[in-house]
Chains A and B, each alone.
Chain A
C-alpha cells in the first residue's frame, strides 16, 4: 500500500514537473517570438516626453534651487553616500541634460545609449537626497533602465521598430503591473481597510470640490474608496490584459487617475500611469489611431500577434546574459515590494522597507522632532532645532522618517565635533508623531544615544513601538 502510494506520488511528481517544464517551454517560446513594435515605440517616446516635462517642471517651480542649492545638509541613501548633489550650477546642468535626454529619447535615435544616460542622470538626481523620494521617480528610473536594454528605438522613417520580441512587451507590462499590485498589496492593512485612513483625512480636506466635495466629508465614502482603491490596484493589470474587459478597464484607469490628480498633489504620477497602462493594450494599437498611424513603418502582422503558438525552431532567442539580467530584474522587482515583511513592527511606523516598494499614498504622518545634545565631559546640554540645519521641507520629511532622523543625529554629532565638542551624545528628546490621525506618540526612544547607532538595512532598533490606538477621525 505504501509502495503504491510512493509510486503514485512519484508519478504525480513527474507529472507536475512535466507540466512546469512544458509551461516554461511554452513561455520561453512565446516570449521569444516577436510582436508589433508600435506600442513599445510609443511607450519609449512618451517616457521621453515625460522626462522632458519633468525637467522643465524642476526649472519652472525652482525646485533645482529648493532641493539642491538651498539645503546645507543632504540625506543620502544607505550605501550611496557618494551620490550627492553636484556643486554650483551642477544640478541645474544635470536637469538640463535630463530634459535634453528626454527629448532625444522621444526622438528615438540611439535610444539605448540615450536611455542609459537618462537612467544614470535621473537616478543620480533623485537619489541624492531621501527628502525628495517619490515612487514615480523610482518608476521612471526603472523604466529608463528597461528602455536601455530593450530594442525599441525609432527607425529611419518610423517612430518604432517594426517588430520586437514579446519578452520586452511583457517586461514593461510586468513593471507597470508591479506598481499596481505592489500598491494593492500595501493597502491590505488595518489602517487602510478597517480605519479607511489616510483617505478619510485626505478626502475630507477636499470638501470644497463641486458636487463630490460634500461626499468626501462622509466617512462611508472614505471606506468605499479605500476598498475600491485596493480592489482597483489588485485587479487592474488583469482586467487590462483581458481582451473582453480591456477597454472598460482602461476607462477605469483614466477615471481613477484623473480623480487622484484632482484630489492629491502627486505631480506627474497619475499621467504617467495613465500613459504607461497603454502598454497592456494590443501591441499594434497605435496603428489604429489615425493621428499616429502614419508614424510607423508598415509591418506584416504575423499569426503570433493573434496568440497562435510560434515555431520554436524559427523564434529568436534573447542572448543568455541578457536573459539572466532580465530574470534577475524580475526577481528583484518581486522581492523589493515584499521585503518589508522581513522587518518587525508596523511598516508605516518604522518605514523599514517602505521606499522602493510601491507604498503609494498610504500615510498621513506628521511629526515634531527635537534633538538634545549632551556633552558627557562637561555635562552641558543643547537643544537642536532641525530648522537650524534643514530646509522646512527636509525638516518635515525627517521628523517622521526614522532613517532620516538617525542621519540627522549624525549630522549634528559631526557638526559639534567640527566645532570642537567631540564625543557628544545625541538624543531625540522630542519625537512626537501622529500616524494616520492617531494621537501623537513618541517615535524614537529618548534614552537611545543616536550618535552611537549605526545606519544600515537591518531595521531601526532605536524606535518605540507603534501606537495601538485607533485613529481619531
Chain B
C-alpha cells in the first residue's frame, strides 16, 4: 500500500496541480468575460466606440469639404476661362479671388486627406510645391499645353495650384506684370490658353476627389463611416485620420513655418521656402490647414457634431484640453503674423517664431498625447508589429 502510494501519489498530485492551473486560467478568462458581460453598453462605452464619430465626421465634415472643393474648383475653372477669353483687370482679379477661395477649400481638406494610394497622384497633380519657373516657361511654349490633355500630361511642377499662382500673381511687384503677360506679351495667347487648361485640369482632379467620396459616386464616405472596405475597421479608419492630422501638424511646423524661418538653415530666414510666395497666401494656407484640422478634431463642419475630441474626452478630458489649447494657440499666433509672410520673416520674426513654437507644441501634443489617448497605431504603413 505504501509502495503504491509512493509510485502513484506524485503523479496524481502533479496531474491535479496542472489541471488546477489550467482550470484557474480558464476561470480567469471566463470570469473576465462573464463579469463584464453583466455590464451592458453604457454611455462610457458608447463614446469610446469610434463608429458614431466616424459617421458624423464623414457626413458633417469630410464629404461637405470635398463638395466645397469641387464647387470652388468649378468656379476657378470658369474664372480662368474668362481670363483666357477676355483678360482684364476685373477678370484677372476675379480669377485671383477664385484661386484664393479654391485654395482655401483645398487646404481645409489636408487634415483628412486619406484614401487609396491613387490619391497621392491626384494630390501631386493639384498641389506640387514648388512650381518650376522653367517647366512653366516650357509649357507656355508648348502648343499642347493649351489643352486639357496637354496639361494633364505635364509634370506636377508645371500644373496645379502653384502653376496657376505663378501665372496669376506677382505680389512682390504688386501684380503689375500679370495683366501685360496675358495681353501684350509675345506669348500672351499661349499663356491664356495654358491658364485655361490648368483650370480645367485642376477642376478635373478636384472632381476625382469628390467622386471618390460622393455617396452617389464611389462612396468612400460609406467605408470611412462604417470602418469597412478600404479602411478595414473603425479603428484603422480612426488611426488614419489621426495619422493624417499628425502629418498636417508636422508639415505646418517644420515645412511651412520652420523652413522659411531658417530653422533648418542655420538661422537665416528663407522667404523662398514659403508655401504660396507669389500670391502672398502662405498665412492663409496655414490657417486653412489648421481650420481643417480643427474641424476633424472638433467635429465642426456644417454643424457642431461628434469629432475626435469626443473619443479623447471619454479617455481623458485633460488630453482634450491640451489639444484644444494648442490648436487655438497655434491659430491665434498665426493670425498675429502680419502678412505677407515673406516680409514678416525679416520685419517681425518674433511673431513668426511664436507661431512656430506654438505649432511645435501642437505637433508634440498630437504625436504623443492624442495618439496615446486613442491607442493609434502610428506605423504610417500596413506593417506588422509585436
Contacts and interface: CB of A to CB of B under 8 A. Distances in A.
Interface of A: 61, 63, 66-67, 132, 134-136, 198, 201-202, 204-208, 213-215, 217-218, 220-221, 224-225, 227-228, 231-232, 235, 238-239, 242-245, 248-249, 252, 255, 264-269, 360-361, 364, 366-368, 370, 375, 378, 380-385, 387-388, 391-393, 396, 399, 430, 432-434, 436-437, 439-440, 472-473
Contacts of B238: 205
The 8 closest A-B pairs by CB, nearest first: A267-B384, A205-B375, A224-B32, A392-B380, A242-B18, A380-B266, A208-B234, A383-B263
A439 B15 contact: no
B384 to A, nearest CB: 3
A225 B29 CA distance: 7
A235 B27 CA distance: 14
A66 B360 CA distance: 27
Contacts of A433: 368
A252 B45 CA distance: 28
Interface string B31-43: 1110111011110
B250 interface: yes
B233 A208 contact: yes
A265 B378 contact: no
Interface centre among B44, B367, B373, B376 (most CB of A within 10 A): B367
B264 A383 contact: yes
Interface string B363-386: 111011101111111111111111
B272 interface: no
A387 to B, nearest CB: 6
Contacts of B380: 391-393, 396
Contacts of B40: 214
A208 B266 CA distance: 48
Given A368-B368, A382-B263, A245 B28 contact: no
A366 B50 CA distance: 21
A472 B319 contact: yes
Contact of B315 (A134, A135, A204, A249): A204
Contacts of A242: 14-15, 18-19, 22
B76 to A, nearest CB: 31
Interface of B: 14-15, 18-19, 21-22, 24-26, 28-29, 31-33, 35-37, 39-42, 44-45, 48-51, 227, 233-235, 238, 247, 250, 254-255, 258, 263-267, 315-316, 318-319, 360, 363-365, 367-369, 371-386
B38 to A, nearest CB: 10
Contacts, number: 206
21 contacts: A66-B381, A132-B383, A198-B375, A205-B238, A206-B235, A218-B39, A224-B28, A244-B18, A266-B385, A267-B384, A361-B386, A367-B367, A367-B368, A368-B364, A382-B265, A393-B380, A396-B378, A396-B380, A430-B364, A434-B371, A434-B372
B386 A269 contact: yes
Contact of A134 (B24, B48, B258, B384): B384
Contacts of B364: 368, 430, 432, 440
Contacts of B39: 215, 218
B227 to A, nearest CB: 6
Interface centre among A134, A238, A245, A393 (most CB of B within 10 A): A245
Contacts of B374: 205
A53 to B, nearest CB: 12
Interface centre among A136, A224, A378 (most CB of B within 10 A): A224
Interface centre among A255, A268, A393 (most CB of B within 10 A): A393
A205 B372 contact: no
Given A242-B22, A387-B250, 15 more contacts: A201-B375, A204-B315, A208-B49, A213-B49, A214-B45, A215-B37, A228-B25, A235-B21, A267-B384, A267-B385, A370-B360, A383-B264, A388-B254, A392-B381, A432-B364
Interface centre among B28, B36, B233, B250 (most CB of A within 10 A): B36
B316 A473 contact: yes
Contacts of A239: 18, 21-22, 25
A377 to B, nearest CB: 12
Given A392-B381, A434-B369, A439-B369, A202 B386 contact: no
A100 B247 CA distance: 39
A384 B259 CA distance: 10
Contacts of B363: 368
